[in-house]
Amino acid sequence: MALDVGSPALTIRCHLVKARALAEIGSRAEATKHLKQAADLSRQMKIEFGEFCCLFTKAQFDFDRGEEKAGWITLRKALSLGKERGFMGIYIDRPAKTARVCLKALEAGIEVDYIQEMIRERNLMPEQPAWHLENWPWPLKIFTLGRFAILKDGKLIRFTRKVQQKPLAMLKALIALGGKGVEEEQISDILWPEADGDMAHQSWATTLHRLRHWLGEEKAIKRQERRLTLDDTHCWVDVWAFERILEQAEAQWKEGQKDRAVKLTEKAIELYKGPFLGQKSEEIWAMFPSERLRSKFFRGVKRIGLFCQERGEWDRAIDCYQKGLEVDNLAEEFYQGLMTCYQRLGRKSEALLVYSRCKKVLSTALGVSPSPKTESIHREILSVIQ
């Protein structure tokens, strides 16, 4: 019909839709043929939107076939043209497929601002939450590691004295309790331990209403059968990202994909900025998740450090241990790793400085001396110098 009426734009659209449909059922050769016809006609008729749609679709096909290099080249061309012309979508598509291509672009840092705008405009969402991507334009981003901060549409929400503290405490408690299907009674016991059932329920409902209003995202917190859930399609939480990336890393370790596992673990380490809810948090209910997260961070740094040491990548190991100490300067094993690395590189004076720092920090903060293992490394360094 498009050919009968002689409409180039409609013909291009038909070829594209048919190419996508054929690709879905596995007819790759036929899909490629129709995509090429659409691209050729777009160039002949100088229809830039058609060219953009064809390039974007080809990139999707390349990624689906595992042809990453070709996909990146095509995607860069598509996004360069799309950004210049302000194109926010393509002819009839599958939003999840488009979201996957957008995710690829954000991972590579290609035209980030433009892609974020497209995602917001189209309300795109990947099939699985992109926890490893801070630059995905989440409506809400909540930071709890080393601090407590909330970004709405990329802008920091500033807390003032007028802000009710109970709604903030409810959000913190919800995250501390896992954020999924948290019972009303669990939060009430934390926030209103002395209140009776009816009074606690009324306070819970009122505080939830205030929290939703304050966040400005009604869908961010789901309430069902007196249980609360933070919606992971609307909220990015650094704790969730940290733990899920480590889970992915662990799966890679088990499969023997060590380089991939290292990259994921390093990504998780970057997310950990300090104790859960910050140094000043002394709430009993926050202590368990705080210690759990610290333990995972500790194991991650140690694992990367030892892995690099085994491969003789001493500078990379040093960088890892130093990052660990920037966050947790009481982790004695990080000092031990640093001393060993400096010693192996022949940088004895720096190794001794690390020992001195370790001894001073442990004495000042905990009133203890370095462990026998630390002292043994220290003596070994001194013996080489002598």
Domain termination site, one of 64, 95, 122: 122
Looking at residue 163, its pLDDT comes to 60
Q: Is residue 248 part of a domain?
A: no
Q: At what angle do helices 48-64 and 28-45 cross, to 10 degrees?
A: 160
| 120, 188, 216, 230 from 182: Cα distances, Å | 29, 11, 21, 9
- CATH, residue 209: 1.10.10.10
Residue 152: phi and psi, rounded to 5, are -115, 120
Q: Which two tokens stand for residue 145?
A: 């590691």
Residue ending a domain, choose from 194, 216, 236: 236
Q: Is residue 310 part of a domain?
A: no
Tell me the whole-structure pTM to 2 decimals. 0.81
Per the structure, the complete domain to which residue 161 belongs is given by 140-236
Q: Name the token pair of 331.
A: 């982790």
116 within some domain: yes
**70 and 106 share one domain:** yes
Helical axes 332-344 vs 284-310, angle rounded to 10°: 20
Cβ-contact 135, 108 below 8 angstroms: no
The 149-152 sheet, strands edge to edge? 155-156, 149-152, 140-143, 235-237
Domain annotation covers residue 88: yes
115, 167: one domain: no
The reply to whether 246 falls in a domain is: no
Give CB contacts under 8 A, 24+ apart, made by 254-259: 258/307
Residues 94 and 177 in one domain: no
* 330 DSSP 8-state letter: T
Q: Is residue 59 located within the same domain as residue 162?
A: no
Residue 302 lies in a domain: no
pLDDT band at residue 93 using 50, 70 and 90 as cut-offs: confident
**Residue 247 to residue 209: CA distance in whole angstroms:** 34
Q: Higher-confidence residue: 316 or 218?
A: 316
Judge if 39 and 150 occupy the same domain: no
Residue 252 domain-assigned? no
Query: Is residue 157 included in any domain, yes or no?
Result: yes
pLDDT tens by residue, 14-64? 999 999 999 989 999 999 999 999 999 999 999 999 999 999 999 999 998
Residue 83: predicted pLDDT: 93
For the segment 241-250, the average pLDDT, to the nearest whole number, is 93
Q: Domains in the chain: how many in total? A: 3
Q: Name the DSSP class of 145.
A: B
